[in-house]
Amino acid sequence: MEYIRDYAMFTAVFGMFSFAWFGWAQEGPREHWRKYIGIASGIALLVSLLGIYLSVMNWNEATALSEVGSLTTYLIVFYAEFIIGGIVAFLLIRANKGDYVAPWICFIVGIHFIFLVNVFNDSSLYLLAILLIVISAMSPTISKKMNVRNSAITGISSGFVLFCFALFGLIRFFFA
């Protein structure tokens, strides 16, 4: 079963987190990248707002979260990600390794999508998980070579991937 409300929410949520990652990328990019990151962030916000509008207009449509146990699983995965991500980020900052917080959060977000595949019955989330995990692994090396903060490469890359998935949700919404 296809859930148009979930596709609208994918657009809203992935668009919003794309906006957030592009914002985090502003922490330490090359100066001439800032305006492009800002433009990408603004476009991601607009896509998110469209997703929010479509979600509200289709609120009474079916959702995968109505399936038995789905909402509970979703909440467990969300809170586990939030708590584990926060604890390790705190420890990284305390160990003066704060520049690794963005790749760490990207990694934990990627992992959480693996657990959401069955919640939403959507195997495309495996691809999203893999892409975010690869970004988290590669961004420190790329950042070092480019002489920018890890958050710049992690944020730009994650923002782009999440933006693509927001658009994918929008396409699926209109063609479901």
Rounded to whole angstroms, how far apart are CA atoms 8 and 172?
9
Rounded to whole angstroms, how far apart are CA atoms 133 and 144?
18
Work out the burial of residue 69: count CB atoms within 10 Å of its CB; fewer than 13 is exposed, 13-18 middle, 19 or more buried.
exposed
Predicted pLDDT at 2: 81
Predicted pLDDT at 1: 66
Rounded to whole angstroms, how far apart are CA atoms 87 and 100?
13
Rounded to whole angstroms, how far apart are CA atoms 158 and 99?
16
**Could you report how far apart the first and last alpha carbons of the chain are, in Å?**
10
Predicted pLDDT at 47: 98
What does the domain layout of the chain look like in residue ranges?
Answer: 4-175
Q: Is the pTM of this model over 0.85?
A: yes
pLDDT tens for the chain, 176 residues long, are 689 999 999 999 999 999 999 999 999 999 999 999 999 999 999 999 999 999 999 999 999 988 889 999 999 999 999 999 999 999 999 999 999 999 999 999 999 999 999 999 999 999 999 999 999 999 999 999 999 999 999 999 999 999 999 999 999 999 98
Of the candidates 20, 10, 12, 11, the one whose C-alpha atom is nearest the C-alpha of residue 41 is 20
Residues 6+ apart with CB under 8 A from 38: 22, 26
Contacts 24+ apart (CB under 8 A), 142-150: 146/30, 148/28, 148/29, 148/30, 149/27, 149/28, 149/29, 149/99, 149/102, 150/99, 150/100, 150/102, 150/103
